[in-house]
Amino acid sequence: MSLRKMFLGAAGVLAGCAIYRACDPKIPANVTPVENFDAEKYLGTWYEVGRVDNRFERGLIKTKAEYTLNEDGSINVLNSGFNPSKGRYTHASGTALFVRGRGTGALKVSFFGPFFGGYNIVALDDDYRWSIVIGSSPNYFWVLSRDPLLSPDLRDRATTVAMQHGIPPARINWVTQ
């Protein structure tokens, strides 16, 4: 076998591994998704009252997510937010799939083809009034609420959860609704 063929074969294997990793995100080691999760109760509208800023949401206000059940059991995701500098709303539509079965709050979400990001619910109100989510890394952190107004109790709880996962409270952007 020539050196060129070996190199191309190795490059193909590495590319395949990279694509697999991008398509199948893992739950971070220090993250424990909630158990006894009820997907039906989680459906509906959630206001994003806090987040660690990331490139696809930076600068957005009035952000929210709407979750509906698809016929195949997956969850349709419709995210929206207002970009004040452009004077308009942006929207992103995707699909969420369960990673460990419907009873665990571990999902993966895709907004683009076979590429998924983690969506791990690490804290959830008993009545499904608020939720705290960590993605594939602590760089992806969201505080969701059924109410667009952030309560002081939820802010304190989210700050505590963030610190437990190595996220400095100063990184949390409390979103204007």
Domain assignments of the chain as residue spans, ordered by start: 39-174
The per-residue pLDDT for range 16-35, each reduced to its tens digit, is 444 444 446 788 889 999 99
Concatenate the DSSP letters of all residues of 86-126 into one string.
TTEEEEEEEEEEESS-TTBSEEEEEEETTEEEEEEEEEE-T
Which residue, 30, 41, 125, 36, is CA-closest to 75? Answer: 41
Which pLDDT does position 2 carry in this prediction?
59
Which pLDDT does position 1 carry in this prediction?
59
Which positions of the chain have pLDDT values less than 50? 3-23
The per-residue pLDDT for range 33-68, each reduced to its tens digit, is 999 999 999 999 999 999 999 999 999 999 999 999
User: Whole-prediction pTM value?
Assistant: 0.86
Categorise residue 76: left if φ over 0, alpha if ψ from -120 to 50, beta otherwise.
beta
Signed CA dihedral, 44, 47, 169, 116: sign only: positive
Which pLDDT does position 24 carry in this prediction?
60
Rg (C-alpha) for the chain, rounded Å, is 18
CATH superfamily of 39-174: Calycin beta-barrel core domain (2.40.128.20)
